[in-house]
A and B are shown apart, each in its own frame.
Chain A
Amino acid sequence: MPALLTDRPNVRQEFADKISHVVRFAGDSGDGIQLQGQQFTVASALAGHDLATLPDFPAEIRAPAGTRYGVSAFQIQFGGDRVTTPGDAPDVLIALNPAALVVNLANLVPGALIIVDESAFTAQRLKRASLDTNPLEDDTLEKFDVCPVDISHLTLEAAKPFGLGAKDAMRCKNFWALGLVLWMFDQPRDATAHWIQTKFANNEAVRNANLAALSAGHAYGETAEMGHILSQHPIPEAPLDAVEYRTITGAEAMALGLVAAGELADTELLFCSYPITPASSLLHHLTGLDDAGVATFQAEDEIASICAAIGASYAGKLGVTSSSGPGIALKTEALGLAVATELPLIVVNSQRAGPSTGMPTKTEQSDLYQAVYGRNADTPLPVLAAHSPADCFETAIEAVRIALRHMTPVILLTDGYIANASELWPIPNIDDFQVITNNKPTETSGDIWERDAETHARLWAAPGDKGFIHRIGGIEKDIVTGNISYDADNHQAMTNLRQAKVESVANFIPEQTIDQGTTAGLAVVAWGSTYGAVYQAVKECLQEGLAVAHIHLRYISPLPKNLHDLLTRYDKLLVPELNTGQLATLLRDKLLVDIQQLNKVSGQPLTVAEVKEAIARLANPRMQEVTNA
């Protein structure tokens, strides 16, 4: 074997000085890589680090072992500073087989530390990964620090006393490697040990073997004499507030946001959906929460799921449905019905790469047109977008607030990245949120078609309410009586009303603020999951003295009332998106502003470097103007 341990003291020193790291775990989709990543995430949070994660897995459930396309990965950035992205480029890679090594090399920082399972580099497995030579033996890894460890063999040894077959024992490999990485960053093992104990409570041998593998990996770090390359790097704690924190994925936060909103509105929810990647996790998280006011119904198809949700809203509970782009397309006709009948409804779209089936496990922001414009006729409705996993909580509450206040369906955009990724979340106090009002009839209510002057909402009378018996439907209704009407003037009046209702939302939502940066120069105007990358890029550019600001939109339709005034204060506007320019088009249309675009449609999140590069092209050095950090 050639000299793998390159001697670059400056690189190693740089590594040792870092207060945040980007670690990527990679292996076969059957290796338990996602679990490994999740457990590391928990340990990192409990050690007081800020963090952001990126699960990156193939659409196939168990793709053929050892192939490049079957590689599953989990990336996390964690550290003692504010962390908003899972990191552009890992500085540590743990690769459990040759394919997992080679597919991830291109993204690593030069001098990155690579820990590989040496015993997985057999002739047969190199061939599976389409490799002619062994990258551990040629110059492929020249630029990196490589630490080959016989992980498979050491895992088998650790599991030996518990009598598992070789195949089962080998399954403990992810915990062995996790043990080693936990040691490396001096993170606690207790939560993982507890997880193993609970998960395998009924299987003593598997439980003990996994615990032993975890400890063995940890002990290996301590005892193996590899200090020159593999040493311990404790990370300082992040400056956190004096509150309780937990890690949370977007799908979890969305579920909790909906549950909390139902409670704040004193309304029960009926969540109706049909399985689709990457939206199904929301259904999973909400199922079983009926004592928190949510019942879930798995319908026979996408159309039935939105229809059942509309039925629930008609009957006085709040209907919620969820899907991804292709499923939302199927729900579209029914969305028109909800607009026409003026029923509250929440539609969550976890966007994924398209068109058609596209790349179901990869992320994209390409359903903005669909959300804002994608219906037959003049059928406006409010559209909101969550910007991070934790932000799904508040955005869900906002969506419910708008739907109930105005009696309208609301589309809530999130994406595959937000749904699966996790971050550290300061747990809010539900009592701090304003109660959500609805339009249910009271003793003083008049006719159900008498509208609130400011919200244009009609009464939310439901079957069972005496004195409000009425018929509604998709046929145009008379603006006064609610009866069927084909009258020309009435249709004009109803069309105007539907438009005015959505526009009136702008009178209730907060004015747009600047997330950080200057009040002149270049504004980076973004929405959705690009938040982390834009935040970090702008932060670094500000430090480098550029006049740049970050403005992140939650309200896509209608836009905040002050947005035009705010944006026209800047010389230049840059809109980065994971699509070909959908928000850019919307802003040009609504605000008549000139916009530069940064677009990426690769199925991967935007990187900080990509945003920085675009900013550097457009921004000027900062003069003496006021900053708003």
Chain B
Amino acid sequence: MPELSFKNFATDQEVRWCPGCGDYSILKAVQRSLAEAGAKPENTVFVSGIGCASRLPYYIESYGFHTIHGRAPAIATGVKLANPKLDVWVITGDGDGLSIGGNHLLHALRRNIDVNILLINNEIYGLTKGQYSPTSRVGTTSPSSPGGSVDSPIDPGRFAIGAGATFFGRAVDIDQKGLPGLLNEARGHEGTSFIEILQNCIVYNKDVFDDVANKKTAADHQIHVQHGEPLLFGKTNDKGLRLNPSTLALEAVMVGHDGVTTRDILVHDETNATFAHLLLSMEAPLPTAMGVIHRRRLESFDRAFWNSKTQKRRQKVVNLLHQGNLLDRRNGSE
């Protein structure tokens, strides 16, 4: 069978995002990862909710279901339960996944249904023209918060870990090097894989992640974690993270300064949820953690669900009809 290239995963539909939208590079990364993984289009399903990002299934040559606002994880759960052999993806955004659909996201994560959820976070409602979202930082000015938003945002990563997620990863939209690989890690994980993608909505929330995503400063402002490897970052990997025992939080140190050696630097343990929590709690000037931040083994919900199955269906149906206390008049009354 000829290998499919990422172009084989493109549809004939005209892509309708604003020119320069971060979704273009996400789409490309998704198509690329599917090609790299040798995914079969007929066995792949993309389910989305409502929002700019949720248009993505129309542009991928696979089965696709563009559903209703917030409900994609619930619909994907039904798809996966009905046919566990399918490779099921959910495309959602910060409003779709964490506001109107927060409940479904929470339950998909705690059940550990084997679907891959991509939460495309731009900290704004794009499709409805720019209102602040549940991930918008306090003070975000928008048509619905002209004086600046006052409600505290939710952090997708800590939400996921709190809900019992068995896989959490994070990447920046334009990271064509890291994102396809992360998507493949998610695809290979049994259970719910949840990936937060920091996306640039150039119309309504331009460069809100610039501090993290900007390629010029990325080396200092991002840390790409890898299981079993020390938590080092910076252009020359001279910076590292260690635990401050008095604050129970991570702190950045320079290796080779103030007596700090590589031995003081923490080694990433993706199976440890507390560790994930520490990494996800870092705020500037500490770097933002990227890559597979948390991953642990747990039987997926769909596997547990289908564990017992038998055949002989018609006989079973007939038996059911005839259960209970029967009054048999087939030979007339006694």
The residue on B at minimum CB distance from A266 is B313
Do the beta carbons of B78 and A319 come within 8 Å of each other? yes
The answer to whether A333 and B68 have CB atoms under 8 Å apart is yes
Q: Which of A289, A300, A430, A469 contacts B314 (CB 8 A)?
A: A430
B292-330 interface (Cβ within 8 A of A)? 305-306, 308-314, 316-318, 320-330
Among the listed B63, B74, B325, B332, which residue makes an inter-chain contact with A247, where contact means beta carbons less than 8 Å apart? B325
Instruction: Assess whether A463 is in contact with B86, with CB atoms less than 8 Å apart.
Output: yes
Residue B13 CB within 8 A of the other chain: yes
Most chain-B CB neighbours within 10 Å: which of A244, A301, A464? A464
Q: Chain B: interface secondary structure?
A: mixed
B61 at the interface (CB under 8 A from A): yes
Q: Which of B29-37, B38-46, B152-160 contacts A (4 or more CB under 8 A)?
A: B38-46
Q: Is the CB of A471 within 8 A of B310?
A: no
Does residue B191 face the partner (Cβ distance < 8 Å to A)? no
CB of A303 closer than 8 Å to a CB of B: yes
B333→A430 contact, CB < 8 A: no
Q: How far is the CA of A241 from the CA of B86 in the complex (A)?
A: 50
Contact status A311-B77, CB under 8 Å: yes
A307–B71 touching, CB < 8 Å:
yes
Contact A308 B77 (CB under 8 A): yes
Q: How far is the CA of A337 from the CA of B317 in the complex (A)?
A: 32
Are B79 and A244 in contact, CB atoms less than 8 angstroms apart? no
A270-B41 contact, Cβ under 8 Å, with A259-B317, A300-B104, A472-B66: no
Find the residue from B47, B74, B82 having the highest chain A CB count within 10 A.
B82
In the assembled complex, the Cα of A317 lies from the Cα of B312 at a distance in Å of 18
Contact A243 B330 (CB under 8 A): yes
Q: Give, as a whole number of angstroms, the nearest-CB distance from B306 to chain A.
A: 8
Q: Could you tell me the distance in whole angstroms from the C-beta of A252 to the nearest C-beta in chain B?
A: 9
Closest to A269 in B: B82
At the interface, yes or no: B103 with Cβ under 8 Å from chain A? yes
| B residues near A611, Cβ cutoff 8 Å | none
Q: How many angstroms from the CA of A467 to the CA of B43 in the assembled complex?
A: 11
How far, in Å, is B150 (CB) from chain A's closest CB? 28
Cross-chain contact of B58 among A315, A337, A484 (Cβ < 8 A): A484
- On whether the beta carbons of B309 and A291 are closer than 8 Å, the reply is yes
CB within 8 A of A289: which of B57, B320, B329? B320
In Å, the complex CA distance between A337 and B64 comes to: 14
Is A545 in contact with chain B by the CB < 8 A criterion? no
Q: Please indicate which of the listed interface residues A48, A248, A292, A295 has the most CB atoms of chain B within 10 Å of its own CB.
A: A292
B62 interfacial contact with A, CB 8 Å = yes
List of A residues within 8 angstroms of B316 by Cβ: 289, 291-292
Q: How far is the CA of A505 from the CA of B65 in the complex (A)?
A: 27
Docked Cα-Cα span, A50 to B331, in Å, equals 18
When distances are taken between beta carbons in the complex, the residues of chain B under 8 Å from A466 are 42
Residues of B within 8 A of A116 (CB): none
Contact across chains for B66 and A241 when beta carbons are under 8 A apart: no
- Is B215 in contact with chain A by the CB < 8 A criterion? no
In whole angstroms, how far apart are the Cα atoms of A483 and B107 in the complex?
A: 32
Q: Which residues of A contact B71 (CB under 8 A)?
A: 303-304, 307, 334
Residues of A within 8 A of B331 (CB): 242
Residue in B58, B106, B312, B332 whose Cβ sees the most chain A Cβ within 10 Å:
B58
CB of B65 within 8 A of CB of A473, answer: yes
Q: Which residues of B contact A299 (CB under 8 A)?
A: 74, 77, 107
Given contacts A259-B320, A304-B103, A308-B81, contact A337 B68 (CB under 8 A): yes
Nearest chain A residue, comparing its CB with the CB of B334:
A48
The 0/1 profile, CB within 8 Å of B marked 1, for residues 441-475 of chain A is 00000000000000000000011111111111111
Shortest Cβ distance from residue B67 to the other chain A in the assembled complex, whole angstroms: 6
A95 interface hit (Cβ, 8 Å):
no
Cβ contacts under 8 Å, B332 to chain A: 242
A68 nearest CB across to chain B (Å): 34
A584 to chain B, nearest CB (A): 34
In the bound assembly, the distance between CA atoms of A465 and B63 in angstroms comes to 10
Q: Which of A268-319 contact B (CB under 8 A)?
A: 268, 270, 272, 289-293, 295, 297, 299-301, 303-305, 307-317, 319
CA distance A241 to B306 in the complex (A): 41
Q: Does B272 contact A (CB under 8 A)?
A: no
A543 to chain B, nearest CB (A): 26
Q: How far is the CA of A428 from the CA of B318 in the complex (A)?
A: 10
What residues of chain A lie closer than 8 Å to B41, measured between beta carbons?
A: 469
Bound Cα distance from A256 to B76, whole angstroms: 27
Interface membership of chain A positions 409-442, coded 1 if the CB is closer than 8 angstroms to chain B and 0 otherwise: 0000000000000001001101000000000000
B280 in contact (CB, < 8 A): no
Chain A, 375-415, contact with B by CB distance < 8 Å: what is the 0/1 string? 00000000000000000000000000000000000000000
Given contacts A337-B67, A430-B317, contact A42 B75 (CB under 8 A): no
Alpha-carbon distance A465/B42, docked complex (angstroms): 6
A270→B81 contact, CB < 8 A? yes
Query: Would you list which residues of chain B between 95 and 139 have a CB under 8 Å from chain A?
Result: 103-104, 106-107
Q: How far is the CA of A28 from the CA of B331 in the complex (A)?
A: 42
A428 partner residues in chain B, CB cutoff 8 A:
321
CB–CB A464/B85 < 8 A? yes
| Nearest CB of chain B from residue A217's CB, rounded to whole Å | 20
Known: A272-B78, A469-B42, A484-B58. A246 touches B320 (CB 8 A): no
Q: Does A240 contact B (CB under 8 A)?
A: yes
Which residues of B sit under 8 angstroms from A292, Cβ to Cβ? 313, 316-317, 320
Question: Given the complex, which residues of B lie within 8 Å of A290, measured CB to CB?
Answer: 308-310
Q: Are B68 and A295 in contact (CB under 8 A)?
A: no
Which A40-79 residues have C-beta < 8 A from chain B? 42, 45-46, 48
Is B83 an interface residue, CB under 8 A from the partner? Answer: yes
B185-219, CB < 8 A from A: none
> CB-nearest residue of chain B relative to A191?
B325
**Known contacts A240-B333, A242-B329, A245-B327, A304 near B45 by CB under 8 Å:** no
User: Is B43 a contact of A260 with CB atoms below 8 Å?
Assistant: no
State whether B75 touches A310 (Cβ < 8 A): yes
Q: How far is the CA of A39 from the CA of B44 in the complex (A)?
A: 52
Q: Please determine whether B79 and A314 come into contact, CB atoms closer than 8 angstroms.
A: yes
- A307–B78 CB distance below 8 A: yes
Cα–Cα, bound, A328→B322 (Å) = 32
> Which residue of chain B is the closest to A47 with respect to CB atoms?
B327
* A240, B329: Cβ atoms closer than 8 Å: yes
Q: Which residue of A lies closest to B72 (CB)?
A: A307
Judged by a CB distance under 8 angstroms, whether B11 is at the interface is yes
| A residues less than 8 Å from B13 (CB atoms) | 483-484
- A176-208 contact mask (Cβ, 8 Å, vs B): 1 or 0: 000000000000000100000000000000000
Nearest A residue to B47 via CB reads A311
Which 7 pairs between the two chains have the least Cβ-Cβ distance? A311-B78, A473-B66, A308-B78, A307-B74, A471-B64, A315-B82, A304-B74
* Apart from the given pairs A243-B329, A315-B82, 12 other A-B contacts in the complex at a CB distance below 8 Å: A48-B329, A237-B333, A244-B322, A245-B327, A303-B74, A304-B103, A311-B77, A312-B78, A315-B78, A315-B86, A430-B317, A462-B83
Ordered by A's residue number, 14 sampled pairs between the chains whose C-beta atoms are within 8 Å are A48-B327, A244-B322, A246-B322, A260-B321, A290-B309, A297-B78, A307-B78, A310-B75, A312-B79, A336-B68, A469-B42, A471-B58, A471-B65, A474-B67
